[in-house]
Structure 1
Amino acid sequence: MTVVRGATVVRGVTVARGATASRAERRRLLTAISQLPEMLDVLARELRAGRNLHEAIQTASTLPSLHSLGLDTLVTRFASGERLVEALDRWASALNHPDGDLVRAVVSLGSVTGGALAGSMERAALTLRERAGLVDEVRVLTAQTRASAMLLFVAPIGFLVLLLMLDPASSAAVFTTGLGQLCVVLGLVLDVVGFVWMRWLVASVTR
């Protein structure tokens, strides 16, 4: 019995540590995604200053504000002789986010075709900021909609309780007659259906 309990405790601790590590990794990735526009701005600025792409990435990798992006791994791969496009593929795959794929596409295409890479990076940074702003706006609107759904769900029930408290004699007919009971049941069903429907609408928008 002691061995079983010990194994259960160990398993619980392991699961808890795994969940904590997963949350920490998720926070790190979200931080990295939010730093992508700044990364592109830094690279564009370095390119306009006359540095090549490898030097620009090396400079960006030393900035504390971009630490979560893991650019030092790119620099290490460059130093080991790995091609830029391949290193960017590995880096973007680790981010596993559409914004990372956009950065990879812009930088890789510019490194292969040449041209005004700094301008492309600045436009991509603007696109990422606009996208992040839109995501934040949707998040706020969905939070407001969830709050409205909860209010609309609770309000009829609260009104019924208030009615029972203020005028119990008159409102007793609601529960003592067949028609009153039918109205209460129908009202509760419609209330639940409306709440579930609004939640479904919010979920369909945020998917």
Structure 2
Amino acid sequence: METPALFIVAIVLCFGALLVLFFLVLRPRYGAIPVDRRRPQTYSENSSFSKVSQSLVDRMGGVLGKSGGPFHRALLYNAGVKLGPADFTVLVSVVAFLAGFLGTLLTTPVIGILIGVATPFVVRLVLSIRTDRRRGKFEAQLIDTIQMLIGGLRAGHSVMRSLEAAGLESEAPTSEELTRIVNETRIGKDARQALEETAERMGSEDFRWIGQAIQINREVGGDLAEVLEQVAGTIRERSEIKGQVRSLSAEGKMSAIVLMAMPVGVALMLSVINPGYMSVFVDEPVGNIMVAVSLVMFVIGGFWMSRIVKIKF
């Protein structure tokens, strides 16, 4: 039997294994009392695909446990993803399988496996980028948030009522975080702890100052609006310094992006112009080893440059 025929047989066996996995091992399990009897007014018949997918998510949740696995709830929340850990893990697993399968069809099995394995790491990188953007947006909205808090306090509202009003009038992610603080205090969590956790979650030293000002005012009293005015002035000066730092480090960031994009661009260009020249890296074992080593060096170099151009103060 020739190699193409073996490859087709392998694909058929893989799909057969998936069918057995979905319809025999992961078939939906029903509780002792059907949903239509427990909630007759709200029950709607789900399709077979929905039942199978829900069963798969439930089993994945049992495997991950309370920790949530690599895509835990805190990571997804900070990135602004509304899915649960089990749902998101199943989604990433399906995407990784499809990416690996397409990579195998378009290139070679080795490259396809590498693409499938790299997919969860790429998703984790995307979540990290979304988290940084969400935190940056929270920082940019902080001055307006303080002004709304000051307005509420001077109108005679309490601190929590001012936070609630600011949450209703703000945009995401500030609205989400302030609403979470108010809801957590309503169910019994200490306000100081809720504010500290929000500052930690957003990585915001400026918001930590606001929480400390609120806590000091609760303990010793005083004009909280006046204190927040001074805090707003300090944050405004820090924002100006951050803007100067970003402008000075923009050249280094652009250089890092260009250096990271050049190897990928050259490889794609050579693959189009002279496919035989790049086939050595795909067909030969030595070429596969060189590609793997290059990917490792690429990741290390990219991480190194990202640390160099990232300035903390």
The structure with the greater share of residues assigned to helix is: 1
Match of residue 68, structure 1, among 173, 187, 190: 173
Deviation at 1:138, TM superposition (A): 3.1
Assess if the C-alpha contact under 8 Å between 1:38 and 1:125 holds in 2: no
Residue 71 and residue 12 in structure 1: after superposition, are their counterparts in 2 closer, same or farther (change >3 A)?
Answer: same
TM-score by length of 1: 0.64
Alignment of 1:55 with 2:161, yes or no, is yes
Alignment of 1:128 with 2:231, yes or no, is no
Residue 17 and residue 34 in structure 1: after superposition, are their counterparts in 2 closer, same or farther (change >3 A)?
Answer: same
Taking the aligned partners of 1:27 and 1:143, their CA distance within structure 2 comes to 16
Deviation at 1:20, TM superposition (A): 0.8
Taking the aligned partners of 1:121 and 1:105, their CA distance within structure 2 comes to 11
Q: Figure out how many residues of one structure are paired with residues of the other and give that number.
A: 150
Residue identity in the other structure for 1:132: S
Alignment of 1:42 with 2:110, yes or no, is no
**Structure 2 SS opposite 1:62:** helix
Sequence identity (%): 22
Choose between structure 1 and 2 for higher RCO, CA contacts under 8 A separated by at least 6 residues.
Answer: 1
Residue 23 and residue 80 in structure 1: after superposition, are their counterparts in 2 closer, same or farther (change >3 A)?
Answer: same
Deviation at 1:206, TM superposition (A): 4.2
Question: Which position in structure 2 is the counterpart of 1:25?
Answer: 131
TM-score by length of 2: 0.43
Question: Which position in structure 1 is the counterpart of 2:30?
Answer: none
Alignment of 1:99 with 2:206, yes or no, is yes
Which consecutive unaligned segments of at least 5 residues does structure 1 have? 147-202
Residue identity in the other structure for 2:184: R
Taking the aligned partners of 1:14 and 1:205, their CA distance within structure 2 comes to 24
Taking the aligned partners of 1:29 and 1:22, their CA distance within structure 2 comes to 11
Taking the aligned partners of 1:18 and 1:142, their CA distance within structure 2 comes to 25
Taking the aligned partners of 2:197 and 2:250, their CA distance within structure 1 comes to 35
Taking the aligned partners of 1:27 and 1:113, their CA distance within structure 2 comes to 37
Taking the aligned partners of 2:187 and 2:201, their CA distance within structure 1 comes to 19
**Structure 2 SS opposite 1:19:** helix
Equivalent residues in 2 for 1:166-205, closer than 5 Å: none
Residue identity in the other structure for 1:23: I
Deviation at 1:86, TM superposition (A): 1.7
Residue 72 and residue 82 in structure 1: after superposition, are their counterparts in 2 closer, same or farther (change >3 A)?
Answer: same
CA RMSD of superposed structures (Å)? 2.7
Residue 143 and residue 13 in structure 1: after superposition, are their counterparts in 2 closer, same or farther (change >3 A)?
Answer: closer
Question: Which position in structure 1 is the counterpart of 2:247?
Answer: 140
Taking the aligned partners of 1:15 and 1:142, their CA distance within structure 2 comes to 27
Taking the aligned partners of 2:118 and 2:310, their CA distance within structure 1 comes to 36
Question: Which position in structure 1 is the counterpart of 2:217?
Answer: 110
